Amino acid sequence: MKQMNTDLNHYLYKLPEVKIAKFPLTQRDESKLLVYRKGIISNSIFKNITDSLDPDSLLVFNNTRVIQARMIFHRKSGAKIEIFCLEPHLLNGDLAHPFNQLGKSQWKCLVGNKDKWRKNKEILKLRKRIDGKEITFQAEFLGDYGKDTLVEFTWNNEMTFREILENFGQVPIPPYLNRQDVPSDKQNYQTIYAEINGAVAAPTAGFHFTDKVFGKMEEKGIDKDFVTLHVSAGTFLPIKETNFLLHSMHHEQIIFSRENVEKLLLTNRKIIATGTTSLRALESLYWFGIKLMQGKKNFDIEKLFPYETETVLPDRKIVLNYIMEYMIQSDLQMLTGSTSLFIFPGYNFRMTDGLITNYHQPGSSLLLLVAAFVGEDWKKIYQFALNNDYRFLSYGDSSLLLP
């Protein structure tokens, strides 16, 4: 791996609490939009984003849907135990399967007040009357699983796990909002195009899009496509190591269709990722193609794989063609894989020409990605946003980055 600055302190900035948007604007597309093009910054409004996009652009969106993955239990003593589902245990195949499970499901979780639960391993219970039937939903501590906790959920009726979460779970709004979820979050903490259940955090860059903005895109000839990356709660986790290379990245499931690959092959146009999750999905697809060329068929992109791979690599069209041939020969309509790809300064972007994204926490993996994309100008961009009353984090304002 080539020499690079891996000191997290270089990627910190002061974020006053007053700058954090606790709630979204009533009109999604009225958010402020900072446009960064080749080093020049300008102000706009999100509903006018098409004015800053070339007609031959392809915008790629993440159509994952947020599940109500946060649950509050209480021990008999009254102590609160908060359980946050991260990903299914021993996931094989499509993530839809665990949500369709009946009666029992095992998940890797983040647990608040974990030490108290670990000591007595009390089976926690929630009860609710649904359609005239008493439903008991239980959580059992199975043990530590690395930094996570393995939890088995059981329930006493024919509901799927997805239906159980809808009835017993809460919207997993980010902890940095420092507030409880409210009924409006159930709609606000989803993109309007959310479709595939599986995320425990939202792809928030997509919050600003409305049907009206999509209409303007169509009028200008700007194309769009939808891929899936199920966002994990790892996106919330702060980097605690000064050397950020030591930070653990959660695996996140990705799904690409053959139609996605075909559309990406029209490479005379600019590919604009809507959000860091779409960007990581696109870049992970490229590295899967490189793995195929190396004779490896496992779609699992490790955290540092790109940095440990030879630097002279084919362009994206060659790689995408290779993936397409593989899908045709293998009679595959869908590619399902996972990624823990860590993008930080020193990364060479292979698939993405532009990025639409919100403003991220100091010293976060998402800020490191932005710094990789625009270089040291990330400081100029963030200072401009702070000086011009932009709203930060998940429910905040947006930026269009065209380096």
Q: What is the pLDDT of residue 267?
A: 64
Q: What are the tokens at 59?
A: 């915008």
Q: What are the tokens at 327?
A: 């899908």
Q: What is the pLDDT of residue 248?
A: 87
Angle at 43 between CA 224 and CA 278, to 5 degrees: 30
Cα separation, 216 vs 222, in Å, equals: 9
| Residue-range domains of the chain with CATH | 8-65+189-402 (3.40.1780.10), 69-170 (no CATH)
| Length of the chain (residues) | 403
Give, for all 403 residues of the chain, the pLDDT tens digit.
555 789 999 999 999 999 999 999 999 999 999 999 999 999 999 999 999 999 989 999 999 999 998 999 999 988 899 998 887 887 655 555 777 888 999 998 889 889 889 888 899 999 999 888 899 999 999 998 888 899 999 999 888 898 999 999 999 898 889 898 999 999 999 999 999 988 889 999 999 999 999 999 999 999 999 999 999 877 767 898 999 999 988 888 899 999 999 999 986 789 999 999 999 999 999 999 999 999 999 999 999 999 998 778 999 999 999 999 999 999 999 999 999 999 999 999 999 999 999 999 999 999 999 999 999 999 999 999 999 999 999 999 999 999 9
- Coil, helix or strand at residue 119: helix
Cα separation, 16 vs 365, in Å, equals: 19
- The partner residues of 106 in beta bridges, in order of sequence, read 152
Cα separation, 82 vs 104, in Å, equals: 19
Of 155, 156, 340, 313, the C-alpha closest to 232 is: 340
Angle at 232 between CA 351 and CA 294, to 5 degrees: 40
Distant-in-sequence contacts of 241-244, Cβ < 8 A, 24+ apart: 241/8, 242/7, 242/8, 242/9, 243/6, 243/7, 243/8, 244/6, 244/7, 244/8, 244/11, 244/344, 244/365, 244/368
Q: What are the tokens at 168?
A: 């017993």
Angle at 84 between CA 24 and CA 128, to 5 degrees: 95
Angle at 184 between CA 182 and CA 187, to 5 degrees: 130
